[in-house]
Amino acid sequence: MNALLWTLQVALAAIFAVSGAAKISQPKERLIAIGQTGVAPFPLPVVRVTAFCELLGAIGILLPWLLGVDKFLTPLAAAGFAVVMVGAIGSHAHLREPRNVALTVLIFTAAVIVAVGRGSGL
């Protein structure tokens, strides 16, 4: 179980680090052009705040558990990712993008597994 959780943590950190870096540094039109269509319904300040949270979460999902310091932050970061994915699912559903909804549901599921697994001390 520990190997699965670490695999999911690394995958989530990579996904959200790349996504957050793009959202914090690119104009909204460029984000949409490169496939980040979920940002379309939101004003740029919301996109930037989300990006900042994604970048913090990418750190929070790995470092506390890796370093053994403030380990409670890891399941909180995973839970935060799950909340972000609920918004992303709604956004992609609104845009009628079933493929993106399905992918986002997978990311949501991974985040919930990490939140529950690490929250229970595994």
In this prediction the pTM is 0.92
pLDDT of 122: 78
> What pLDDT score does 89 carry?
93
DSSP letter (8 states) at residue 42 = S
What DSSP character marks residue 1?
-
Q: What is the mean pLDDT, run by run of 10 residues, along the chain of 122 residues? A: 96 97 95 90 93 96 95 96 93 92 97 96 80
* Overall domain count for the chain: 1
In the structure encoding, which two tokens stand for residue 36, read together?
Answer: 């980040």
According to DSSP, residue 71 is labeled T
**At 52, is the secondary structure helix, strand, or coil?**
helix
Per-residue pLDDT, 41: 86
Q: Domain containing 10: what range?
A: 3-120
